[in-house]
């Protein structure tokens, strides 16, 4: 099973996200990450999907998603020429003994401490999925109280832009 990254430009209508995601599920793709967001055109939304599957199934799902009426464009994102980012919010148990260590770890990863209370701190980190995974691995000896990851959002590098014509 290989990870595939898709960007889908769709008409900004209710129910579109459900239609796209159900297509992936019906075809046996496990969606690892899904984000939906506005674009510079208020009539168009961008859905970024990370899914696992074989290459044959990957091509099939591209074609089927492209056939949806609301789909303006779908394309695969090559990680070597794309910017893949996630946001992590993690609440860690923190006291006088480990607060300095957690602060040092956050600095090494260029994370921000966005909340500090008597018994915990909330750390924010933005970066590539591997960076997020590495940060969480370093935090594993500490007590993570809560955590939330946004899922991957992505754009291709360079000045080219995908046309919004189907």
Are 145 and 91 in contact by the 8 Å Cβ rule? The answer is yes
Q: What is the pLDDT of residues 142-162, one digit of tens each?
A: 999 999 999 999 999 987 666
Largest CA distance in the chain: 58
The region of weakest confidence among 27-31, 77-81, 83-87, 96-100 is 27-31
Is the pLDDT reported for residue 27 higher than 80?
no
Is the pLDDT reported for residue 164 higher than 70?
no
Is the pLDDT reported for residue 7 higher than 70?
yes
Q: Which residues contact 11 (CB under 8 A, 6 or more apart)?
A: 43, 44, 45, 70, 72
**What is the token pair recorded at 73?**
């464009």
pLDDT at 56: 83
User: Best-predicted range by mean pLDDT among 26-30, 69-73, 87-91?
Assistant: 87-91
pLDDT at 23: 86
Could you give the domains of the chain? 2-76 (3.30.70.260), 83-153 (3.30.70.1150)
Q: Give 83's strand partners.
A: 155
* pTM value surpassing 0.75: yes
pLDDT at 166: 41
Average pLDDT across the chain, whole number? 91
Is the pLDDT reported for residue 83 higher than 80?
yes
């Amino acid at each position: 099973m290989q990870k595939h990254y898709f960007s889908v430009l769709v008409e900004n209508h209710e129910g579109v996200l459900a239609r796209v995601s159900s297509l992936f599920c019906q075809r046996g793709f496990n969606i690892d990450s899904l984000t939906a967001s506005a674009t510079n055109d208020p009539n168009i939304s961008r859905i970024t999907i990370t899914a696992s599957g074989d290459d044959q199934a990957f091509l099939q799902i591209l074609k089927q998603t492209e056939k949806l009426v609301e789909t303006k464009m779908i394309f695969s994102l090559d990680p070597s020429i794309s910017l893949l980012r996630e946001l992590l919010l993690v609440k860690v148990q923190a006291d006088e003994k480990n607060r300095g260590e957690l602060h040092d770890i956050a600095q090494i990863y260029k994370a921000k401490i966005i909340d500090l209370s008597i018994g915990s701190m909330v750390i924010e980190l933005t970066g590539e999925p591997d960076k997020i995974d590495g940060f969480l691995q370093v935090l594993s000896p500490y007590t993570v109280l809560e955590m939330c990851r946004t899922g991957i959002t992505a754009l291709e590098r360079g000045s080219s832009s995908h046309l919004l014509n189907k």
